[in-house]
Amino acid sequence: MTSVTAFAPATVSNVACGFDVLGFPLQAPGDEVTATFGADGVRIADILNDGGRLPRDASRNTAGVAVQALLSRLGERRGMTLTIRKGLPLSSGLGGSAASAAAAVVAVNALVGAHAALDVLVEAALEGERLGAGSAHADNIAPCLCGGLVLVRRASPPDIIRLPVPDGLTAVVVHPNLEIETAKARELLGDTVSLRDAVRQWANLGTFVDGLHRGDFAQIARSLEDTIAEPRRAPLVPGLAQIKGAAADAGALGCSLSGSGPSLFALCQTPTVARVVAEAMTTAVKTHIGGDPRVYVSPIAAQGAHVTSSCGS
Ligand code: HSE
């Protein structure tokens, strides 16, 4: 093999009640990375569709750092050249840096024929996240690589639990025309939370997990509340309360920021409800933020990052 291309999907992290521990992928959009053998070390040949904004220096690029970490773990000495095609908007709250890192490690793993375990890929991709977000949280990386709705009990060494997804559960994501840098959004959180907020968050998280196991949509709806991150980040997204209200009125089980925002997600009981919710949220985003938001309606994707093509002998 001389060249491998992998796709990695957008991810919704936090999922309201699981700050830094819950996430799921959409089917699309996503980033693509092509890996080929190159001279020593890791080199970025090109990045498409980023408006020239992402670092071309591999040691400052999330995909480059992730691949370097993977090669070190594998003891692989051959050099790698990466071409990154951004399908995800930058600083959108859709796990863009995680997607580039995940696609890169999946492509390189296949190119060198390493068959590395998922945990090895997660740990390598996390190094990219540490660079991009200033913190090695795995709630985008883990679902991006593993697929499904996942709970990260621990990022490193990874302890990742795949949760059941009740039939019909459908995600809506609306991306307003804003950018929020995760590192800055994390600074807003500070280092402490009140005991009252913490108790409420872990009560919601347990309730959510149980609701998924029993397919109890009413219970899932009750648990989709964020007492930790969303209250502190709300000022970054104008009209957040009204957009959430529009989603609820249209029948969503719950709605919150996707990751550190500005994208918002809603979970819905059926694809039909999701389409109605998507329209209501889009109208509300246009009213309160303006611009032309991008909208995605998707099941929780069961498949994470994967090889899409390979060529060569
Ligand atoms: N859990 C992370 C956060 C996701 O909310 O900061 C963004 O990368």
DSSP letters, 20-61, are TTEEEEEEEEEEEEEEEEESSSEEEEEEESSTT-S--SGGGS
Through-space distance between the first and last CA atoms of the chain, rounded to whole angstroms = 5
CB 259 less than 6 A from any atom of ligand 1: yes
CB 97 less than 6 A from any atom of ligand 1: no
CB 98 less than 6 A from any atom of ligand 1: no
**What pLDDT sits at residue 1?**
87
Paired tokens of 215? 């397919």
**By the 8 A CB rule, do 283 and 246 touch?**
yes
CB 14 less than 6 A from any atom of ligand 1: yes
Paired tokens of 25? 């992928």
Distance 71 CA to ligand 1 centre (A): 26
Nearest CA to ligand 1 atom 4: 259
**What pLDDT sits at residue 273?**
98
pTM above 0.95, yes or no: yes
Region at 95 (left for phi over 0; alpha for psi -120 to 50; beta for the rest): left
CATH T-level fold of 170-299: Alpha-Beta Plaits (3.30.70)
**What pLDDT sits at residue 313?**
63
For every residue of 150-188, DSSP letters joined together read EEEEETTTTEEEEEP--TT-EEEEEE-S----HHHHHHT
Query: Nearest CA to 143 among 21, 38, 283?
Result: 21
Sheet holding 254-257, edge to edge: 254-257, 264-268, 170-175, 294-299
Say if residue 158 is preceded by a cis peptide, omega within 30 of 0. Answer: no
Q: At what angle do helices 240-249 and 271-288 cross, to 10 degrees?
A: 150
Distance 137 CA to ligand 1 centre (A): 7
Max Cα-Cα span within the chain:
60
CB 20 less than 6 A from any atom of ligand 1: yes
Distance 155 CA to ligand 1 centre (A): 13
Region at 63 (left for phi over 0; alpha for psi -120 to 50; beta for the rest): alpha
Closest ligand 1 atom to the C-alpha of 139?
1
Q: Which regions of the chain carry the CATH code 3.30.230.10?
A: 3-162+301-308
Closest ligand 1 atom to the C-alpha of 185?
6
Ligand 1 pocket test: pick from 260, 263, 265 the residue with the most ligand atoms within 8 Å of its Cβ.
260
Distance 259 CA to ligand 1 centre (A): 5
Q: ∠265-259-46 over CA atoms, to 5°?
A: 105
Closest ligand 1 atom to the C-alpha of 186?
6
**By the 8 A CB rule, do 149 and 212 touch?**
yes
CB 230 less than 6 A from any atom of ligand 1: no
Percentages of the chain per state (helix, strand, coil), in multiples of 5: 40, 25, 35
**By the 8 A CB rule, do 14 and 257 touch?**
yes
Mark the ranges of the chain whose per-residue pLDDT is less than 50: none
CB 229 less than 6 A from any atom of ligand 1: yes
Closest ligand 1 atom to the C-alpha of 133?
8
Closest ligand 1 atom to the C-alpha of 14?
1
CB 11 less than 6 A from any atom of ligand 1: no
**By the 8 A CB rule, do 36 and 2 touch?**
yes
* Right CATH for 3-162+301-308 from 1.10.10.10, 3.30.1360.120, 3.30.230.10, 3.40.120.10: 3.30.230.10
- The torsion of the CA quartet 69, 149, 14, 151, rounded to 10 degrees, works out to -70
Q: Is the dihedral of CA 116, 121, 122, 127 positive or negative?
A: positive
Q: Which regions of the chain carry the CATH code 3.30.70.890?
A: 170-299
64 contacts: CB under 8 Å, gap ≥ 6: 42, 44, 55, 57, 58, 82, 104, 128
Distance 12 CA to ligand 1 centre (A): 9
| Residue 176: strand pairing partners | none
Paired tokens of 280? 């209501």
